[in-house]
Amino acid sequence: MPQSLRARVSFGLRRFLSLLGLLAAAAAPVQASVPTDVEHQRVLLQARVAAVRDAMLVQQNLRADDPARSDRLAQWFNWPNWMNWNNWNNWANWGNWFNR
Amino acid sequence: MYASIRWIARRDAPLAAEALLRFDPAEFIPALKTRLLILQPTPFCNLRCDYCYLPHRDDKARMSLDTVRASVRRLAEAGLLGDSLTVVWHAGEPLAVPPDFYEAAIAACTEAAGPQCELSHSIQTNAVLIDDAWCRLFKRHRIRVGVSVDGPAAMHDLHRRTRNGHGTHGRVLSGMAKLRDHGIEFHAIAVVTADTLPHARDFARFFVEQGVREVGCNFDEAEGLHGESSLGGAEERHEAFLAELMACASDDASPLRVREFIYAAHLIGEGLPRYQWRGEALPFNAQVVPFALVNVAWNGDCGTFSPELLGQPSGAFDFTLGNVHRDALLACASRPGFRRLWSAIARGTRTCEGGCSHFDYCGGGAPVNKWYENGDLASGETLYCRSMVKRPFDLVLRAMEEKAGVVPAQAVA
């Protein structure tokens, strides 16, 4: 196929697909006010985390703003080896950056 | 208990694909500070691990002290130095450069940072070159040492080999023994491949027997030269591995701390810190916030965001934003190349925000994994997200719910 013809076919195809995308977007129902499945899952996850925190705080008689609450959470969770975890800041900052 | 549940409205104005963000550090609250400066003393590595992502690892070039100094000064002049900074020597085998280099380089960093900034140094090494001289250096400068070791020999030697193809496990054990002889505490980072997954207990036992108290699992990632992860078709087995590893780490008699579980527990206990940008409160993720991490290659080429991106070839983006010898960091940030890169990464964060249930506990994933797995920095979930973030988080949360006797919320009216 001559180069110019190929370019024209490619251009036409892209225009067609672009138009198709616009039509599909226009035809899609507006859902802005309807919670998506992901939003639903996110709220459930937040609720689960809050429930665990609440239970731990109550059982340990801790205040919600106790600075040691994550270590107390680990203690309560019966992972005593997590206590005295003093590298949290380093590890949190490093994340996964020490590869290999 | 769930009375406070409410729907969070989706953002009405997603970033348009063609919009280029303008970088202004004043738009970040709290003020933007670099937490981690990753310096590449050399691109060279004495090993040839089969999952390595680094290009140029045959290149024996070495970072000059001028480059070290310029790297720290560029942070200071940009106002990015806070009251503390961790310098990480990485991205090549850092011990391929002699200890004398670090004596001078650490002094150069201290001088350039000035008295207001407390510096700490970290090295991630394959450990095969560790000797008494290295140990003295580590102790003298309180350098935090991480050893890359993948578990018992049968797992480690499958992938971590010399340039002649021989296993390195014995030499790594010697290096670790040397550290112990000098009383130097160290952590380990293990690349977990599909070969490791059936052997969680052996994996955990190895670290306990070696006196390693802290281990991070880097689940095999597709990045750079390493184009495919062995975990791609093994996600159920990955979940089983995690569950068994957690059982090992939860044993009262076990002193092993696994980074991924600790991280998840902290996220559950404290949440992820948030920062304000243009009036929005976003969960902090250092890989998507400009200059939270700064990465400098041996020759002064610099970048930000995921460190693994620096020096990687790409037709679409220039991951090298400038060079510390020529360019002020904020000048780099005003260029179209940076703005294109940041805009794409910011769109990726929006994609995560709109499409991921774990966004509040992650803040936008890892750009490098989006790039290599999805071919699109503006994309969302990756295998990395599932293996490093979501699955460990879910596992720890489930275990805590059982302990608390909490019935997980299933539906919201």
pLDDT, mean of each 10-residue run, chain A (100 residues): 64 64 51 67 94 84 73 66 45 44
Q: Does ipTM top 0.90?
A: no
A68 chain-B contacts, CB cut-off 8 A: none
B399 chain-A contacts, CB cut-off 8 A: 77
- pLDDT at residue A93, rounded to an integer: 46
Cβ separation of B257 and A82 shorter than 8 Å?
Answer: yes
- pLDDT at residue B268, rounded to an integer: 87
Cβ separation of A97 and B360 shorter than 8 Å?
Answer: no
- pLDDT at residue A86, rounded to an integer: 44
Q: Considering only alpha carbons, which residue of chain A is nearest residue B258?
A: A82
Nearest to B214 among A32, A87, A99 (CB): A87
Minimal CA separation from B232 to chain A, in Å = 18
Average pLDDT of the residues in B340-346: 96
Long-range contacts of B369-376 (CB under 8 A, 24+ apart): B369/B221, B369/B222, B369/B223, B369/B306, B371/B309, B371/B314, B372/B221, B372/B222, B372/B223, B372/B224, B372/B227, B373/B222, B376/B344, B376/B348
Q: Where are the alpha helices (H) located in B161-234, listed in sequence order?
A: 169-181, 200-209
Work out the percent of chain B whose per-residue pLDDT is above 70: 94
Q: Where are the alpha helices (H) located in B169-310, listed in sequence order?
A: 169-181, 200-209, 235-250, 259-270
- pLDDT at residue A69, rounded to an integer: 72
